[in-house]
Structure 1
Amino acid sequence: MSSSGRLIPFAYHDGATNMAIDEAIVSAVAGNAVPPTLRFYGWSRPTLSLGYFQAADEAGDWAGEPVDLVRRSTGGGAIMHHRELTYSLSLPLADTGPGARQAVYRSVHACVIDTLKGLGVTAAAYSDVPARAFRSETVIPSKESRAPSDGLLPSRKQPREPFLCFQRRTDEDLICSGYKILGSAQRRVRGGVLQHGSLLLQVSCHADVLPGVADLAEIEIDPIAISQSIADGIAETMTLDWQSGELSAAERDHSVSIRANRYAAADWTRRR
């Protein structure tokens, strides 16, 4: 028997608003004020989001007019949000241990794989892709470290991870034609979990080293159409019955407060 869930339609917002809405939703879901919620969104301006633990100084010339800068509440590398489809899934989860959270990763990413397969695009989890399938240029230095040296080895003993998330690899990341096209991150809260992630659709002029699905497969992709397909897959996998909905008044008010006090505040963005 399916449980009710809420599906919030695709919409564009600025970076601080997107992050604040995600946090307001997971708080409401964890408190049982609203049902499990899936949201799809875009970015009204190109935005570089820093991982929670990244130093703001690392942004270098990746951020700055016309690219906004925001810090996520989730970890990982920086993401250039531009021509992509972003999702967030907030679930009540009494067991927020690694096993339960890993199952959420795998379920959502499997639905994205199936959606892309329907478009004739083959994608797979990084852990399932033979090493020989990767292009030599998939892991590259960030802008500030391209010259005079490659910047990937600041010391002989401790290699540094690439700055951008899509230059990194974890087992659940999705790979297409040797390139990472989907990465996700989670944040645990008491009684729930937020998972949000980015599916690269097209290369951005602000991060021209990272091709998207449309570039790799040479097809056109409608973000709204594929978001519905992904939502259908998640509904089936997690036995949820999505009902189209909007933020509650309490969530809207909470997100405005969160935005002002955290994601739009310089002391949050520059805290590291």
Structure 2
Amino acid sequence: MRSRSLQLTFAIEMGDEWYWLDSSTGDAPANMAWDEALLEAAAELRRPVLRSYAWTSPSATFGYFQRHANIAAWTPLRPLIRRPTGGGLVSHEADWTYAIVVPPRHPWYSLSAVESYRRAHSWLQRAFAHCGLQTELAPCCDPAGPGQCFLGAEREDLLLQGRKIAGAAQRRNKQGLLIQGSIQPTPPDLSRTRWEEAMLRSAEEDWGVRWHHWPAPSDTLTRRVEELRSRYASSDYNERR
């Protein structure tokens, strides 16, 4: 556990105004469209966003730089959607998924990729601790399944009893920082609602975050989500490399 002084320092770095967006369920193209649209709007929103979402049906996503032909041979799950972030293949059948979107003036934006990854998973670690689960950050890599996110562990992945239960991927550009994360297998005897409440609570207690409910989306954002959803549903886009 961090010392109180370090927690307060982190609170100052983080800022204290965040949006909480519970998107419920969506199909795979819509889920990816929402995350990218929020990244594009990050500077205008000015506050970071924590978004939680689920899947209307089993799906799989893969990293922006991966080859579709390779991924298609690794999983029978369809649709198979190219994420806006990097990383490897992730199956979405019963996982809990979330996104963190950070505007370019926020301190997280200037962190290295390793450090922003560690901070995201440290947040999960604290939330699970609130739920009575002791997890740890992976000290190094276990390349058991290169290209497939949950077959091996990367440094700073989250482990429960030695097994990876959380991984994430990132995209950073001039618009902001997007972190997409998945929790699987989900911890037994823990509801998603309780985990979400623990995420909000840990940020409040450790960093002094004040949460704001997501406002009704603008017409511009809604249109952009629909445009991006069409792209993510397109085989031309998903199979372009």
TM bucket, shorter chain: 0.7 to 0.9
Cα displacement (A) at 1:198: 0.3
Match of 1:6 among 14, 19, 33: 19
**Given that residues 71 and 263 in structure 1 are in contact (C-alpha distance below 8 angstroms), is that contact kept between their aligned partners in structure 2?**
yes
* Corresponding residue number in structure 1 for 2:123: 111
Larger radius of gyration: 1
Do the aligned partners of residues 84 and 74 (structure 1) sit closer, same or farther apart at CA in structure 2, a change above 3 Å counting? same
- Return the TM-score normalized by structure 1: 0.74
Query: Structure 2-normalised TM-score?
Result: 0.83
The answer to whether the aligner puts 1:174 opposite 2:174 as a matched pair is: no
Partner of 2:189: 220
Is contact 2:21–2:49 with CA below 8 Å preserved after alignment?
A: yes
Encode CA deviations 1:194-214: one digit per residue, 9 max, x unaligned.
Answer: 1110011xxxxxxxxxxx243
CA contact (8 A) 1:107 1:234 kept: no
Q: Who is 1:152 aligned against? A: none
Alignment match, 2:98: 87
SS at match of 1:41: strand
Residue matched to 1:189: 173
Deviates more, 1:227-236 or 1:107-116: 227-236
- Equivalent residues in 2 for 1:1-272, closer than 5 Å: 3-30=16-43, 32-33=44-45, 35-58=47-70, 59-60=72-73, 62-64=75-77, 67-94=78-105, 96-99=109-112, 101-127=113-139, 139=144, 161=146, 163-200=147-184, 212-214=185-187, 219-246=188-215, 248-249=217-218, 250-260=220-230, 262-272=231-241
Write 1 or 2 for the structure with the bigger share of helix: 2
- Asked if structure 2 preserves the Cα contact closer than 8 Å seen for 1:27 and 1:189, the reply is no
Residues 4, 242 of structure 1: 8 Å contact kept: yes
Quick check: 1:38–1:87 contact (8 Å CA) kept in 2? yes
Q: Deviations over 1:135-187 (max 9, x none)?
A: xxx936xxxxxxxxxxxxxxxxxxxx2x4211132211111122111001111
**Per-residue Cα deviation, 1:205-248 (whole angstroms, up to 9, x for no partner):** xxxxxxx243xxxx322112211211232345554311111451
SS for the counterpart of 1:127 is coil
SS in 2 for 1:184: strand
> 8 Å contact 1:92–1:191 — kept in the other structure?
yes
Query: How many equivalent residue pairs?
Result: 224
Deviation at 1:80, TM superposition (A): 0.2
The answer to whether the Cα contact below 8 Å between 1:45 and 1:68 also exists between their aligned partners in 2 is no
| Aligned residues of 2:46 and 2:103 also touching (Cα < 8 A) | no
AA at the equivalent of 2:227: S
Cα RMSD of the aligned pairs, angstroms, is 2.4
Q: Which runs of 5+ in 1 are unaligned?
A: 141-160, 201-211
Measured at CA, do residues 231 and 105 of structure 1 come closer, stay the same or move farther in structure 2, by a change above 3 Å? farther
Asked whether the 8 Å contact 1:10–1:224 carries over to 2, the reply is no
Provide the identity percentage. 27
